[in-house]
Amino acid sequence: MQRYSGFGLAKHALTHNENWQRLWRNPTPKKKYDVIIVGAGGHGLATAYYLAKEHGITNVAVIEKGWLGGGNTARNTTIVRSNYLWDEAAALYEHAMKLWEGLSQDLNYNVMFSQRGVLNLGHTLQDMRDIQRRVNANRLNGIDGEVLDTQQVQEICPILNCSADARFPVLGASWQPRAGVARHDAVAWGFARGADALGVDLIQQTEVIGMRIEDGQIVGVETNRGFIGAETVGCVAAGNSSVLAKMAGIKLPLESHPLQALVSEPIKPILDTVVMSNHVHGYASQSDKGDLVIGAGIDGYNGYGQRGSYPTIEHTLQAIVEMFPVFSRVRMNRQWGGIVDTCPDACPILSATPVKGLFFNCGWGTGGFKATPGSGNVFAWTLAKGYAHPLAAPFSIDRFVSGKLIDEHGAAGVAH
């Protein structure tokens, strides 16, 4: 792999940038692999990368029906945080956070992880109780965070409407300084480059159309380019997980919903932290290019169309103008939608299935991006060993039968 550095940039400039190498190959699929990952989004690519790097399993194919990193990885609002309420979720997201903190160096690819802090606003007395509860839990779990009052919130974000006569005045917030944003595409590309360099085959434009199962054991996948064998298959397909599961005769407790987001036209830096409000129902940050990156909740119906309904966007911008009245004259440039696989308890599924060798990593709903390295890391472990990583174990599909749900709806009240 060609190492990247500032010195390298200068060197290549002298040769007119004509000697840069490919970030990944475009291989023809082999007949058989040790492990197949279905879905080359951030989570799938991270899984492949850690399989190769930490478990020495390099005979791996990542099969992608479109282009790598083209699903929710390319469509999210890039927020990274780990201030989840329940121990199980907090541990998983904090595991991811620690990996984020060294990811650019590990991948030798700058994923622009910017720890500019996240404010989760409270607007009612119950919001504030919930915030206290969550921040206390975070602290005792070793996750940074503090509870701020209105004045402190105003100091961190001077343009936020903190006046007492707002419709829902800001009563305070939780503040996680280590949280922030990352460059979403770079995460996919960095993991792809890293995985490819370790020997993983990234097979794009190849759609899985069936699962071959013999005596309850997965033996490979049927694709539009023919059969590809493997006795371990990990499906990491977000919104399309239910479709893959059906091929294997499995039902999942998932619904795929449109989740919309939007960006403003680029403006000079004015918002240098991430502000989220469950109650007013919107959130915003500003990218390094100057776009305000904005999102809110899912559309209530099932949808695979990568688009939602206009009233959702309209309501989101009403919330943004309510929170940031100075943005009234800033223009929305573009909106889009992803397909999010929502779980009844707003927590993911990292699980074996009744089919031997077939695993699913799904159900991240609106909050998957922030978990990308952690999800890939524990799922790789799970695929390598054949049983759940300790951090993944609570996220087994069995929890829906036993009733041991991990209800993080408070954390996912707005998409993120």
Partner 1 sequence: MLHIFCPYCGEHREEAEFRPKGQAHIARPLSPEQCSDEEWADYLFFRDNPRGIHHELWVHATGCRKFFNVTRHTVSYEILETYKMGEKPKVTAESLAKGGRS
Partner 2 sequence: MSQVNRLGSGGYIDRTQTLTFTFNGNQYTGYKGDTLASALLANGVGIVNRSFKYSRPRGIVAAGAEEPNAIMQLGATEAAQVPNIRATQQALYSGLTARSTNGWPNVENDAMGLIGKLGGPMMGPGFYYKTFMAPASMWMTYEKFIRKAAGLGRSPKEKDPDQYDHYHRHCDVLVIGAGPAGLTAALAAGRSGARVILCDEQEQMGGHLLDTRDQLNGKDASLWVSQVLAELATMPEVLLLPRTTANGLHDHNFATLHERRTEHLADTAPDANQVRSRMHHVRAHQVILASGAHERPLVYANNDVPGNMLCGAVSTYIRRYAVVPGQRLVVTTTNDDGYRAALDWAEAGREVVAIVDARPSPEGDCVKEARKKGIRIITGSAVFEAKGSKRVTGARVSGVDPATFTLTGVKDDLACDTIASSGGFSPVVHLSAHTGTRPIWRDDIIGFVPGKVKGLTSVGAVNGVYALDRILADAAEAGTNAALASGFNVAGVELPSVTKQLESKPIALFQVPHEKPTMRAPKQFVDLQNDVTAAGIELATREGFESIEHVKRYTALGFGTDQGKLGNINGMAIAARLLNQTIPETGTTVFRPNYTGITFGAIAGRHCRDLFDPERYTALHAWHLQRGAKFEDVGQWKRPWYFPVGNETMHDAVQRECRAVREKVGILDASTLGKIDIQGKDAREFIGRVYTNKWAQLGVDKCRYGLMCKDDGMVMDDGVTTCLGDNHFLMTTTTGGAAAILEWLELWHQTEWPELEVYFTSVTDHWATMTLSGPKARDLLSEITDIDLSKDTFKFMECRQGQVAGVPARVYRISFTGELTYEINVQANYAMHVWKALFAHEHKYGLTPYGTETMHVLRAEKGFIIVGQDTDGSVTPEDLGMQWCVGYDKPFSWIGQRALSRPDTRREDRKQLVGLKPVDPKVVLQEGAQIVLDPKQSIPMKMVGHVTSSYFSPTLGHGFALALLMGGSKRMGEKVYMPMADGTVIEAEVVSPIFLDPKGVRQNV
Site for partner 2 in 148-187 (CB under 8 A): 159, 167-168, 183, 185-186
Q: Does 303 bind partner 1 (CB under 8 A)?
A: yes
Interaction partner, residue 302 (partner 1, partner 2, none; CB < 5-8 Å by kind): partner 1
Question: Of these, 1, 219, 393, 405, which contacts partner 2 (CB under 8 A)?
Answer: 405
Which of 76, 82, 83, 204: binder of partner 2 (CB under 8 A)?
A: 204
Range in contact with partner 2 (rule: CB under 8 A) among 27-35, 209-217, 263-271, 361-369: 263-271
- Using the contact rule CB under 8 A, the part of the chain among 125-133, 140-148, 209-217, 309-317 near partner 1 is 309-317
Of 63-92, binders to partner 2 (CB under 8 A) are 66-67, 70, 74, 87, 91
Count of residues engaged in binding partner 2, rule: CB under 8 A:
115
The answer to the question of residue 400 lying near partner 1 (CB under 8 A) is yes
Q: Strand, coil or helix: what is 255? A: strand
Q: CB of 211: closest distance to partner 2 in angstroms?
A: 26
Six-digit token string for 60: 């791996």
- Binding span for partner 2 by CB under 8 A among 107-115, 223-231, 232-240, 356-364: 107-115
Q: Residues 58, 318, 393, 396: which binds partner 2 (CB under 8 A)?
A: 318
In the list 133, 210, 246, 300, the residue contacting partner 2 (rule: CB under 8 A) is 133
End-to-end CA distance of the chain: 34
Phi (first) and psi of residue 155, to 5 degrees: -65, -40
Which uninterrupted H or E stretch holds 316? Answer: helix 310-323
Question: Is residue 300 involved in binding partner 1 (CB under 8 A)?
Answer: yes
Q: In a 10 Å sphere around its CB, with 0-12 CB exposed, 13-18 middle and 19+ buried, how is residue 175 labelled?
A: buried
Q: Which residues of 279-293 are buried (b: 16+ CB within 10 A; e: fewer)?
A: bbbbbbbbbeeebbb
Q: 190-225 burial, b for 16+ CB within 10 Å, e for fewer?
A: bbbbbbbbbebbbbbebebeebbbeeeebbbbebee
**DSSP secondary structure letter of residue 329:** G
In whole angstroms, how close is the CB of 38 to partner 1 at the nearest point? 15
DSSP letter at 372 equals: H
- Which candidate, 213, 234, 127, places its Cα nearest to that of 173? 127
CB of residue 224 vs partner 2: minimum separation in angstroms? 16
* N residues, the chain: 416
- SS3 category, 101: coil
Q: Which of the ranges 39-47, 51-59, 233-241, 284-292 carries the binding residues for partner 2, by CB under 8 A?
A: 284-292
Cβ atoms of residues 335 and 342 within 8 Å? no
C-alpha 89/C-alpha 404 separation (Å) is: 13
- Nearest by Cα to 182 from 104, 129, 236, 238: 104
Q: In this structure, how many other beta carbons lie within 10 angstroms of the beta carbon of residue 132?
A: 14
Under the criterion CB under 8 A, does residue 309 sit at the interface with partner 1?
Answer: yes
CB atoms within 10 A of CB 125: 9
| Three-class secondary structure assignment of 62-75 | EECCCCCCCCHHHC
* Phi, psi of 34, rounded to the nearest 5 degrees: -70, -40
**Residue with Cβ nearer partner 1 (203 or 349):** 349
Question: x/- contact string, 222-241, with partner 1 (CB under 8 A)?
Answer: ------------------x-
Which residue among 189, 360, 364, 369 contacts partner 2 (CB under 8 A)? 189
Contacts of 354 (CB under 8 A, 6+ apart): 216, 250
Contact flag: residue 396 with partner 1 (CB under 8 A) = no
**Minimum distance between the CB of residue 304 and partner 1, rounded to whole angstroms?**
5
Among 73, 242, 366, 377, binds partner 1 (CB under 8 A): 242
What is the nearest approach in angstroms of partner 2 to the Cβ of residue 229? 26
Q: Are 207 and 65 in contact (CB under 8 A)?
A: yes
325 binds partner 1 (CB under 8 A): no
Q: Which is nearer to partner 2, 30 or 129 (CB)?
A: 129
Closest to partner 2 by CB, 226 or 401: 401
Check residue 408 for interaction with partner 1 (CB under 8 A).
no
Restricting to residues 247-266, which ones interact with partner 1 according to CB under 8 A?
A: 251-256
d(CA 398, CA 352): 9
Using the rule CB under 8 A, is 314 a contact of partner 2?
A: yes
Judged by CB under 8 A, the residue of 306, 355, 356, 393 near partner 2 is 306
Q: Is residue 344 at the binding interface for partner 1, with CB under 8 A as the rule?
A: yes
Give the SS3 label for residue 179. coil
